[in-house]
Amino acid sequence: MSSGARHYLELKFAGHTFLMPNTPDVSIEPRENMQIERRGRAAAIRSLQGVLWQAYILDGDLRPVTDGVWTRAVFLNARAKSPVGLLVDDLRLLPADSLRIEAFTPLGPAPVSGQHLFHAAAMQASTLTLVFAPTALTAYLQAQEGADGFGR
């Protein structure tokens, strides 16, 4: 499977590792550029030119929580009016040619508007790593602000 991505971000959070294509509309911010958020459901925010960029922490089951360990925010759709971010423990950039990416469709219903969070899996030696679909992850994170049952 070829996604056209030249690089992938390896994202580590909640004790798990995931991949995501590194696209031009991804922006990575260090924790120092973020403010802890206590009023809404986002765990941290970044104010840029009067616009609040919200970022969320996901647990091991990909449910949003308000507390956790993180060092960076990975903002998706950073060229849009309201980017949304995922807070991660660690990340690194991997060249696409070092990975074997295969199409993958999860079982069960899609969590947001008919889109599954993962669209591929990467095979490395004896390890399988799920690859986020950026548009689905963006929609999922954007939906968290109005979600009921938000984890605490």
pLDDT in tens, 70-111: 999 999 988 888 899 999 999 999 999 989 999 988 888 888
Look at residue 1 and tell me if it is in a domain: no
What phi and psi, each to the nearest 5 degrees, are found at residue 62?
Answer: 65, 30
- Give 149's pLDDT tier (boundaries 50, 70, 90): very low
Find all residues with CB under 8 Å of 12, minimum gap 6, and list them.
18, 88, 89, 90, 91
Domains identified in the chain, total number: 1
Stronger pLDDT, 39 or 60, i.e. the higher one? 60
CB 96 within 8 A of CB 8: yes
With 60 as the cut, is the pLDDT of residue 131 above it? yes
Look at residue 2 and tell me if it is in a domain: no
Nearest alpha carbon to residue 58 among 74, 34, 79, 38: 74
Q: Quote the mean pLDDT of the chain.
A: 88
Domain extent at residue 29: 7-146
The arithmetic mean of pLDDT across residues 44-55, rounded, is 90
With 60 as the cut, is the pLDDT of residue 152 above it? no
CA gap 8, 21 in Å, rounded: 4
Look at residue 59 and tell me if it is in a domain: yes
State pTM to two decimals: 0.88
Look at residue 152 and tell me if it is in a domain: no
State whether residue 145 is helix, strand or coil. helix
Find all residues with CB under 8 Å of 36, minimum gap 6, and list them.
43, 44
Look at residue 94 and tell me if it is in a domain: yes
DSSP 52-85: EEEEEEE-TTS-EES----SEEEEESTTSSS-EE
Look at residue 26 and tell me if it is in a domain: yes
Look at residue 81 and tell me if it is in a domain: yes
The arithmetic mean of pLDDT across residues 130-138, rounded, is 95
Look at residue 23 and tell me if it is in a domain: yes
Strand order in the sheet with 90-95: 90-95, 7-13, 16-21, 127-132, 118-124, 100-103
- Give 11's pLDDT tier (boundaries 50, 70, 90): very high
pLDDT of residue 112: 83
